[in-house]
Every structure is written in C-alpha cells, then in structure tokens.
C-alpha cells in the first residue's frame, strides 16, 4: 500500500465543549503518522503543502548522492 499524505475531516468526540458551533477537525496524516489536528482548514492546507515540499526536496537530495 502506498503511503500518501492526506487531509481528512473528522468530528471531535467531545461535543459538549462547543455545543452551538459546528466542530470539525482537519487531520493531516499518512498511513503511520498524524502530523496535525486543527479546526482551521487554512492551517491544514498550509502544513500539507509544506510537508509535500519537504518530501520533494528530500527526493532531490537523494538523487544528488
């Protein structure tokens, strides 16, 4: 199975903390690691893009050796 970086939406288990607000958590993760849980989709997108850039830089560095 390929290890892909994903952003998924999930609902928090504790609804009592914010009863009037629709609570959505954004999770940035791959098959084995959760990198970030946040309520902000913009933060999740930013972290996702940064992790993708870091991965591409690592691949380029491996090719130079």
Check the CA dihedral 58-60-63-65 and report its sign: negative
Cβ atoms of 11 and 25 closer than 8 Å: yes
**Model pTM score:** 0.76
- Burial class, 52, CB count within 10 angstroms (exposed 0-12 / middle 13-18 / buried 19+): exposed
Q: Render pLDDT for 1-59 as a digit per residue (tens, 0 to 9).
A: 677 999 999 887 765 555 666 678 999 999 999 999 999 999 999 999 999 999 889 88
């Amino acid at each position: 199975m390929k290890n892909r970086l994903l952003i998924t939406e999930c609902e928090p288990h504790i609804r009592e903390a914010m009863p009037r607000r629709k609570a959505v958590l954004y999770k940035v993760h791959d098959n084995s690691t959760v990198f970030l849980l946040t309520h902000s989709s913009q933060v999740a997108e930013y972290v996702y893009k940064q992790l993708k850039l870091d991965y591409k830089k690592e691949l380029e560095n491996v090719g130079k050796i």
